Amino acid sequence: MYIVRNSTKFLEALDALRGRGGGRGEVGLINLAGRLHEGHGSLINAASTLCDIVVVAIVCDQAQVDSKIVSASEFKDIAFCEQRKVSILYFPDPSELSPPQNTHTLVEQQQPAFRLPQIETQRLTNHLKLLNIVAPDILFFGEKQFFEFHSVRALIKDLHIKTRIARLPTVRHPDGTVVCRSIARMNALEREQAPILWETLKNVAHAIRCGAREFEKLEITANMALRQAGCSVIYFKVLDEGTLNAANTETVTYRIAGRVKLGACFVTDSLGLTL
């Protein structure tokens, strides 16, 4: 596994791998924020099945980067990737992704009528620049990051980028709770309460399958159930998956999404439903 920290070294590693393989080699890219877990591992496994070369890019905040020091978090991520079929582990220099005072490189996104917390402009810009540097054949996303996936998919389509985008199912614990960093930080009581978000998403989906179409009432009921279970509700919405606007009677593909806070930990999850 190559470990590189700038675009020049990345391209050198990519050329070496292609030369070793005797051809172009299909490239898969997974763009992450670090502190890797088994949910990320499922993306790597899928990429290694579909692609000849697997690139994991870990984009850190500028304040966290020191090219001369391997942080404890980076060390764990390196070990995680070494145990899987990662070809190149790429820690991009933040200055390459966002040149100082070069604001014309920022990517703006069209917001849906109902504004959920969307992917940050800088994060979307990072995706675009990594697509330009890596030029992957396939970009891999987990369904847990649905809103980020939705924005990047639109970017790829609008800019006619040739990269294909693959969305993989969310990895879950046996009780249905999404695998994420915050779950591991919860105390026993919070961990016991955590499955309520997934259960509520499923209950609302079941109600829609059975004919319920008063979506605001469904959201109010879901909010009440989550609060009674001890959650602070950040949002719970029934959306049209194609537009991310509020669902209506014409909607056939739904995205039911929620984010709650338990203690100091946040849990975000969503469920897709097509009728």
**Taking the domains of the chain in order of start, what are their residue ranges?**
2-168, 181-274
Task: State pLDDT tens for residues 61-111.
Answer: 544 445 556 677 888 999 999 999 999 999 998 778 765 555 555 555 555
For residues 215 and 124, the model is more confident at 215
What percent of the chain shows pLDDT beyond 90? 69
Q: What angle do CA 222, 227, 232 make, to 5 degrees?
A: 110
Q: How far is CA 273 from CA 75, 151, 183, in A?
A: 39, 19, 25
pLDDT exceeds 50 at position 144: yes
Element (H, E) at 187: none
Mean of the per-residue pLDDT values for the chain?
Answer: 88
Predicted structure pTM score: 0.85
Segment of 13-27, 109-123, 220-234 carrying the highest mean pLDDT: 220-234
Using CA atoms, how far apart are residues 130 and 9, in angstroms rounded to an integer? 14
**Assigned CATH topology for domain 181-274:** Pantoate--beta-alanine Ligase; Chain: A,domain 2 (3.30.1300)
Q: 2-168: which CATH architecture?
A: 3-Layer(aba) Sandwich (3.40)
